[in-house]
Structure 1
């Protein structure tokens, strides 16, 4: 959730005082964090923090488990809300989920809330949880989290299901960007056998309606200048000079403003809250939109430095995405404004032919961002599509070919 819509903050970089939401931000949790599997904590390398995982393993024999699946959530959300998705896949797969840095129970504020509420407290203020984003200047920490999770799940999968079972990532939005960029770096080559992208963050936000008239040109400008900053493209020489000159003038200014407004004290004032329009584009089902609204373990503010880091990561990924060669299923909505469809179209154009299992499922006419949280009929179609793709991947895994 990914909440990539917060990239609109960049479009307001010269008028940031107007988007501040005040020093006080209260978000009260009244229920423990949702646990749908075995809850474990993985120590990080520096030993100062831990990353939370959930693993659901039913009592099947190794032959009954067809694959091992890792859920990688989106921006500002958490794996706890994937209980229904986990139950679906746990019928024939070992299913796990990782709460990445600053998210879910990997966030010390949410962990304190969970433990306090489990112990009998009536409520816990988690409004300061978003401040954990201050450590995130890029996605390196999240890629490290994914590395930990894959390594642990591979060991668990080999023990429970046998070493012949494929390991698959099921990712959403920012989680898709984290996973795809991780796989490009190939820290664990040949460990991940396939990936499912849902609403991946391969493009920036396109604000709908009248707001977009004012914000989208500025979003486009900041994206364009960041994209060209110190990276000449193949345009004509005069245009290249213009782009580089504009980027050299404006990008340091943008970076300086964002960094200043992300400092302690300033970040409490200038971290934007969710725009009202976003709620209508998360799901096409009112029940799910209400669940999201009342989920106290979802962050509804983002530190600008974190948002800027995501934008730069999108640009970086797009420069190298033609090298992506892991088999994938790509699912997105045609008119999703939170992560615009052109990013998915561009990605498929340069990767679709790299593997015979690669497949794209555009939800034509749809505008919601969370395809796994669609209304029941459409969700069933999406899950059926994933099931069929997994069957093909598993069949190929049993009879490996050279690609």
Structure 2
């Protein structure tokens, strides 16, 4: 259970120093009292160095049914794959479905992992307030991309072993998980990992983190201009745009001053001692924008497996990753189906619109679903009518993609 002691908090993607100074210093305690919600068969994946194994969860169709393809689920920022059990069970009617907790999240977080062991041994509720400190090495998304690489390769291995043939693999990702997934696939293109790219035949991007947040209400009025300033400076830092000479000079001077100062301060405020006062905590308003389900909102508010704080260096690193991805997203070649809500303040819609405009024609099966009336961020956790409609859209896109692949194979014969 999460117990906040400060009303004024900021959300996951806030990159603004003045607001942090104004609203930080919140006391925060968090506990877990229920075991981690496991699903599927567990596979242990060795990691490099002294890192503990990565756990991959796998659900297969009934023994009498052969999966038409394989799916890897990639969760969002500060959440965990255990809460996707119902989603995995639904897709496992047709597909082999796998999922994992990437670095510093879920059971890949040492604090949460130890808490789960204690609960399973019969010890009472566990204090997991310090779980966010596992983010200390997260200067960018590289460690998460590494775990995605482990999980994807293991999923392909299991898929081939269980099915007996090389079925196509799809990724279903959410929010920050979509940024991790998209940037990973873009890297694989650059590395010319043809065998891997050939197996990944499509990706579902749900509310992808291709833009910074736009907090609602008075927070947006206060923080909006500062968020845009930080993102603008990061975008132009050592990267001239097609601007007139005066504007080019101004943007470069602004970025050369702003970016190093913010990077330095965010790093200092992530140091031991200082981070206790300057680490932002997820605000209460975020839950209202995650889902329209009152039941799910109540569950989210008491879910101790969700990390409630984020080190500033991690937040700043995410902003830099968004900027870096946007510089190269025109080259994204994997077939995709993108879903976003037009009024989602957690990952602003303009990031999705920019991505679609830059990439829609890169593959004949690329498609998107813009939900103009919605503000919600987690589409697979909405109430049933909306959730079922979105899942049906995803399944229809997967069916079209599989049909197109089958047609292409027939044409080649």
- What is the TM-score when the length of structure 2 is the normalising length? 0.93
Alpha carbons of 1:392 and 1:15: their partners in 2 closer, same or farther (altered >3 Å)? closer
SS in 1 for 2:242: coil
Equivalent residue, structure 2, for 1:262? 270
Higher mean C-alpha deviation, range 314-323 or range 116-125: 116-125
Contact kept, 8 Å, 2:159 with 2:166, in 1: the verdict is: no
Equivalent residue, structure 2, for 1:200? 208
Equivalent residue, structure 1, for 2:365? 357
SS in 2 for 1:269: helix
Q: Flag as ranges the 4+ runs of structure 1 deviating above 6 A.
A: none
Correspondent of 2:98 among 96, 99, 121: 96
Q: Distance in 2 between matches of 1:52 and 1:108?
A: 13
Q: Deviations over 1:189-215 (max 9, x none)?
A: 323111001000011001111221111
Alpha carbons of 1:15 and 1:281: their partners in 2 closer, same or farther (altered >3 Å)? closer
Q: Distance in 1 between matches of 2:348 and 2:99?
A: 25
Q: Distance in 2 between matches of 1:323 and 1:150?
A: 21
Equivalent residue, structure 2, for 1:6? 12
Q: Distance in 2 between matches of 1:262 and 1:385?
A: 42
Q: Does 1:189 align with 2:197?
A: yes
Q: Distance in 1 between matches of 2:10 and 2:396?
A: 29
Equivalent residue, structure 2, for 1:45? 48
SS in 1 for 2:319: helix
Gap regions ≥5 residues in structure 2: 1-8
How far is the alpha carbon of 1:49 from its aligned partner? 2.4
How far is the alpha carbon of 1:87 from its aligned partner? 1.0
Q: Distance in 2 between matches of 1:16 and 1:346?
A: 28
Q: Distance in 1 between matches of 2:30 and 2:232?
A: 35
Equivalent residue, structure 1, for 2:339? 331
Q: Distance in 2 between matches of 1:190 and 1:173?
A: 24
Gap regions ≥5 residues in structure 1: none
Q: How does 1:170-249 map to 2 (within 5 A)?
A: 170-186=172-188, 187=193, 188-249=196-257
How far is the alpha carbon of 1:15 from its aligned partner? 5.3
Contact kept, 8 Å, 1:4 with 1:339, in 2: the verdict is: no
RMSD (Å), alpha carbons = 1.6
Q: Does 1:21 align with 2:49?
A: no
Q: Distance in 2 between matches of 1:21 and 1:96?
A: 39
Q: Distance in 2 between matches of 1:15 and 1:342?
A: 23
Contact kept, 8 Å, 2:71 with 2:97, in 1: the verdict is: yes
How far is the alpha carbon of 1:397 from its aligned partner? 2.7
Q: Distance in 1 between matches of 2:90 and 2:378?
A: 17
SS in 1 for 2:44: strand
Equivalent residue, structure 2, for 1:302? 310
Q: Deviations over 1:31-74 (max 9, x none)?
A: 1100011123322122432222211123335x621111000000
SS in 2 for 1:284: coil
Q: Deviations over 1:336-359 (max 9, x none)?
A: 000000011110111111222111
Alpha carbons of 1:4 and 1:232: their partners in 2 closer, same or farther (altered >3 Å)? farther
Q: Distance in 2 between matches of 1:138 and 1:232?
A: 22
Equivalent residue, structure 1, for 2:155? 153
How far is the alpha carbon of 1:378 from its aligned partner? 0.1
Higher mean C-alpha deviation, range 39-48 or range 262-271: 39-48
